[in-house]
Homo-oligomer: A and B are copies of this chain.
Amino acid sequence: MNKALLSLSMVAAISLSASAGELMDMAKKAGLKPIPQDEATLMKMIDNPKNPVTAKKVELGKKLYFDPRLSKSGLISCNTCHNLATGGVDGVGPATGHMWRHNPHHLNSPTVYNAVFADKQFWDGRSPDLEDQAQGPMQASPEMAATKKHVEEVVNSMPEYVKEFQAAYDNPKMKPTFKDVADVIGDFERTLVTPSRYDDYLNGNENAMSKEEKEGMKIFIQKGCAACHTGVALGGGMQPFPVAGKYKYANVGDFKGDKNGMVKTPTLRNILETRPYFHNGAVWDIKEAIQIMGETQLGTKISDEEASKIATFFGALTGKKPKVEYPMLPASTDKTPKPDLN
C-alpha cells in the first residue's frame, strides 16, 4: 500500500469511527437505552419488589401462562393471544377469544416480549404492571371469559399446582387466589426479554449492527421517532395519538385512548415479527406504518427510501428469545370445573 492510499484509508477509518461515536451520542441524547448485559443489573430492572421474581414462581407462572383451563372454555390461554412462538403476538387484527369474539374496540394484542420495560400496560395504559395486567384478559368476556372464582377453583382443584404455590411462597397452608395466579404469571412474563444486536451495539460492540442498520438508526433518530419510541422499551409510554380524524385508519375500531386521549406507544423490539401494526392492527406493511407515524405524529414526510432504511434498522431489534420448555401440566381432577364453551 502506498503512502497516499494508506493515509486515505486512515482518514476513512477515523471518520467512520467519528460517525459511529456520533450515532452513539445521538442515541444517548434521544434516551435510547440497551437491555443491560450484566445479569444482576437486568434482574434488578425486571424485578418487582412487591412481587419478587424467583425461579419457582417463574416456573409456576410459565405453566399457568400456557394453561387453557384458566379460561371459561378451557381452550384459551395467555399464550393464545401472546404466542411466544410468533413474536409474543397472535398475528391477527383484533384480539379474538371466547366464542370467537373480537376485541370490541378492535384492539390488537401487543407482544408480551419485553412488556416488562413498558411504563404502563394496555393500550390505554390503565394498568401499572404485568401482575395487574394479567388479571384483565383472564376475566374479559371476549378473551378468556373466566371469573376469579373459576380461576381459583381450577388451580385449587389440582394438588400439584397447590403444592407448587406453597413451595414458591414457602407457605404450606397457602390456597392460591386469583391474585396469586396473576402474580406468578407476571413473574414469568418479566423474564421474557429479548436482547438483540441493537443492544450489543449500544453496549459497545461497534460491529453488532451493519452499516445499513446504523444508517437507518440515524434517520430514525433524526426524524424524531425516538421522541416516543425511547428508553429500553423503545416505547411503552403514553402519547397523544390521533385515533380519529387525520389518522388514515381511524375508522377501524372505536378506541378513544385513555381519558386524555393518550395511547400507549408500542415497543419496537421484534417489530418485524409482530404484524399487524398499531393499536387496531390496521396496517400490515412496516414501511407504511413508519410513514404514517411520520405524518400523523411528527408532521414530517418520510420518503420510501428513508422508511426502507428505518425498517432495515428494525431488523437489528429482533431479539434472542428465551428458551421455553413446553410445560406438561397437572391433570384435571374430579374437582376441576368443567369447561363451558358458551
Residues of A that sit less than 8 Å from B by CB: 66-69, 73-75, 80, 83-87, 90-94, 96, 99-100, 102, 272-273, 275, 284-285, 318, 321, 323-329, 331-332, 334, 338-339, 341
16 sample A-B contacts, Cβ–Cβ < 8 Å, listed by A number: A67-B86, A68-B91, A69-B86, A75-B92, A85-B326, A85-B328, A85-B329, A86-B332, A91-B332, A94-B341, A273-B331, A275-B332, A318-B331, A321-B328, A325-B325, A325-B326
> Is A91's CB under 8 angstroms from B339's CB?
yes
> Is A285's CB under 8 angstroms from B74's CB?
no
> Is A92's CB under 8 angstroms from B73's CB?
yes
What chain B residues lie within 8 Å of A90 (beta carbons)? 68, 74-75
Closest 5 CB pairs of A and B: A100-B100, A324-B326, A273-B331, A326-B326, A85-B329
> A321-B328, A329-B85, A329-B86 are contacts. A75–B80 as well, Cβ < 8 Å?
yes
> Is B84's CB under 8 angstroms from A96's CB?
no
The distance from the CB of A308 to the nearest CB of chain B, in whole angstroms, is 13
Q: Which of A68, A69, A272 has the most CB of B within 10 A?
A: A68
Q: How far is the CA of A338 from the CA of B165 in the complex (A)?
A: 41
> Is B92's CB under 8 angstroms from A326's CB?
no
> Is B92's CB under 8 angstroms from A272's CB?
no
Q: How far is the CA of A284 from the CA of B338 in the complex (A)?
A: 9
> Is B99's CB under 8 angstroms from A100's CB?
yes
The distance from the CB of A303 to the nearest CB of chain B, in whole angstroms, is 19
Counting every copy of the chain, the complex holds 2
Q: How far is the CA of A85 from the CA of B323 in the complex (A)?
A: 16
> A67-B85, A102-B341 are contacts. A323–B321 as well, Cβ < 8 Å?
no
What chain B residues lie within 8 Å of A87 (beta carbons)? 331
> A325-B324, A326-B325, A339-B91 are contacts. A331–B102 as well, Cβ < 8 Å?
no
Q: How far is the CA of A318 from the CA of B102 in the complex (A)?
A: 38
> A85-B66, A87-B331, A334-B285 are contacts. A92–B339 as well, Cβ < 8 Å?
yes
Q: Which of B85, B273, B341 contacts A93 (CB 8 A)?
A: B341
What chain B residues lie within 8 Å of A102 (beta carbons)? 341
What chain B residues lie within 8 Å of A80 (beta carbons)? 75
Apart from A74-B92, A84-B326, A93-B339: 9 A-B pairs, beta carbons within 8 A: A67-B85, A69-B91, A75-B90, A85-B329, A86-B332, A91-B339, A99-B100, A100-B100, A323-B325
The distance from the CB of A162 to the nearest CB of chain B, in whole angstroms, is 18
